Structure 1
Amino acid sequence: MRPRTLLSRPRTAPATSGDVEVRIVDPRTDPEPTGWNRFRKTTAWQPMWDYEQLRLESWLSRNPTVLGVLSKGGSVLGACLAMSCTPWRGRRFGPSGGRGLAPGWAEVYLSWFSGHSAAVFADRVDAARRRELLRAFERALAAHVGVGLLGVVYRAMPVDVAEAASGPGRAVREIDPTTVLVNRWESVDDWFASLRPPVREVVEAAAETASTLDVTAGAGRTDLDAAELATLLNTHRARQDARAWRSGQRARIAGLHLDTRSPIPTAYLAAFVRRPDVVTRTYRDGAGRLVAFHTLIDDRRGLALPHYAALPVSEGGRPRLYADVYAHCVRHLVEARRPELTAGRTLLDLKAGFGFTTRTLMSVAVPRPVMGR
């Protein structure tokens, strides 16, 4: 029996809006949409948009996703990923059962890649057309979900997408920006020389610390225990969340408040680190214990650092290994001649010391009465 959630209703024919066909797809059960592979290569190139990755993420999430695909004449013009969210936080993953009438909202959000947009468009789609496509997506989503949908929130959108999503009756807020390191150096030494002396000292100390560990890096790794990685990553994230609560950051409008993400699933991470476009670097102590790791998405259009986790020093971790991670990422950036490196929405001041700047992100809340208008 096909699972049903707030965003999972009986399969229907694609909706049409003018000359646009809108299909709401459940990655858990529906086949890959027509034209998706080509759109992936040209536009939605990050691994998070891979249909098999979406399938794994949605099956194992308490907030499963649907994919909205907007096409014309069989050619995909744009796509949106929407998470199903409810006011309560259960522990079940991939919930089943009829919930079409239960109140909840949808979030257009890349949950593990929040510095990048969950609404993407082909280059030929101009601003006016983007607005039209987003309205068509909203109408199709509302029809797919039913009366239980209270609205949709576009989270962590670049300015151009936020402008297309904005309008009368829609609340627009600037949120914490994402960090970006633009490649402007001829060598890693040039980057190192551009750092302030205290930061250079941290990088040197981190490199010395890393030299005492077993450090292994490579793309498409098959030698890793994904459960070990997921445990460290989810524990690291929980520790950061607890620290944020204590410091009062959750009360800030611009913060990562109301976190609707699920713990990253082992199966998802296992498939992710095996991808040829993902580099994973691990740090182990003399006993073979995993001390830290990170992943790096590598594409000619840019690098991204989606995952980093480390043991606290009090539990056997090493201080400031993040600095060694940044140094290796910059080396990859320069030597592979990639245009930029993005590294998420936290620790803005710390990353600024390594040369990162910021890119503005916006969120747009769209209540049900104005969806599609």
Structure 2
Amino acid sequence: MTWDVRVLDPRTDPEPEGWAAFLAAQQAPVPWDYGLLRVESRFSRSPNVLTVIREGGEIVAAVLAMLCAPLASDRPGAVRGPARLAPRWAEVQHAWLSGYPPWLFADAVDAADRREIMRRFERAVCRFTGPGCLGVFYRTVEAESLGMLSGRGRRVCDTMPTSVLENRFVDVEGWLASLRRSRRLSLRGQSRKIAADPDVIVRTEAARTDLDALELAILLREHRRRMGPVKFDLRGPVTAEYLAELLRRPDVITSTYHDADGRLLAFSTVLDHPVAPLHQHWAAVAPEEGRPKHLYFDVVIRNVRYMIEGNRKSLSMGRGLTDLKASLGFQPVPLLGVIVPRPVTRW
């Protein structure tokens, strides 16, 4: 098979011809947009590289990876130049699509071709990364995709699962009825309390242009600092520049919680999708700083309502807090990691 494999740096390389049409055909989630990849990568300590595979001039596959260094600083990471000589690796994940595959394939690409495409991707991205490249690490692999990545010299390990709710409900009451009685009663009570509180102003809309992206970015950063570092997480912080581009899109739904004086208490984002929307970002001030408790559960109720009323197949709440999400009816979806040392990529 004749494939053209090209590794792109979204910071500097133009959007590949046919990219928007390929994303539309694959119903790719919002963050695959090339403009968003460019903005996110520009400020990231682990910048994105996008590998595009063509056959006969048409895009048939794409793989996204981050270039990660063991001693990365908080400054934007380099892609080319002397950084190619230093130790680093290609980490195959989409930074802000927690639990989603970091690759796209045209429908006509069969299992055997997918396996060969991934081998060619590995060799190409290692050459691009440079002589210091240690190999490739696939961080979010679902079990059904393991066959195209496994093989001799490749180590498979468990990673944090993602949580998904399948839509089998007529309305929100049907979802609540499926939960344990104690959880069902607490959710109803919390929702009523927030709705009746004049000091909590909730607004949920798509294409938000009324928000201060820097304020949101600072809140998100502080929230994650309180939660503690995620082990082996080399993503950079979500920047104001990225949020400003993201929130104005018509396929991104943002919920905000302000007090009566206009102080931001919390916010969340949902990436709309015709099949499986994703709850992407959540951040709130600490309860001791004056916010009401249980705002997170109000967000979950709103997300579930959106899934049901929009007749979506499922809703993803991302990774982390697996037990809490299970109490809300979300099922853990196991994910695997595959470590491919650079010598193995040459086999």
Alignment counterpart, residue 325 of structure 1, candidates 299, 317, 320: 299
> Structure 1 pair 264/277, CA: closer, same or farther in 2 (3 Å)?
same
- Name the structure 2 match of 1:29: 12
Equivalent AA in structure 2 for residue 106 of structure 1: A
Structure 1 residue 35, shift from structure 2 partner: 2.1
Structure 1 residue 372, shift from structure 2 partner: 4.3
Using structure 2 for the length normalisation, give the TM-score: 0.95
Structure 2 counterparts to residues 18-97 of structure 1, below 5 A: 18-43=1-26, 45-95=28-78, 97=81
Question: What does the per-residue CA deviation read over 1:89-125, in whole Å, with 9 as the maximum and x for residues that have no partner?
Answer: 3121144752111111110111122211112212222
Query: More displaced, 206-215 or 61-70?
Result: 206-215
Q: Does 1:238 align with 2:225?
A: yes
Contact 2:159 2:336 in 1 (8 A): yes
Question: What does the per-residue CA deviation read over 1:244-276, in whole Å, with 9 as the maximum and x for residues that have no partner?
Answer: xxxxxxxxxxxx521111000100011111110
Question: What does the per-residue CA deviation read over 1:73-94, in whole Å, with 9 as the maximum and x for residues that have no partner?
Answer: 1221211111111110312114
Contact 2:74 2:236 in 1 (8 A): no
Q: Per the alignment, in what secondary structure is the counterpart of residue 268 of structure 1?
A: helix
- Name the structure 1 match of 2:284: 310
Structure 2 counterparts to residues 76-155 of structure 1, below 5 A: 76-95=59-78, 97-155=81-139
- Name the structure 1 match of 2:254: 280
Q: Does 1:227 align with 2:204?
A: no
- Consecutive unaligned residues of structure 2, counting only runs of 5 or more, are none
Structure 1 residue 235, shift from structure 2 partner: 1.1
- Name the structure 1 match of 2:189: 205
Contact 1:127 1:160 in 2 (8 A): no
Structure 1 residue 63, shift from structure 2 partner: 0.8
RMSD in angstroms over aligned alpha carbons? 1.4
Structure 1 residue 237, shift from structure 2 partner: 1.2
Using structure 1 for the length normalisation, give the TM-score: 0.89
Count of aligned positions: 343
Q: Using the alignment, how far apart are the partners of 1:191 and 1:44 within structure 2?
A: 27
- Name the structure 2 match of 1:7: none
Contact 2:90 2:126 in 1 (8 A): no
Structure 1 residue 194, shift from structure 2 partner: 1.6
Q: Does 1:173 align with 2:147?
A: no
- Consecutive unaligned residues of structure 1, counting only runs of 5 or more, are 1-17, 243-255
Equivalent AA in structure 1 for residue 312 of structure 2: R
Contact 2:254 2:268 in 1 (8 A): yes
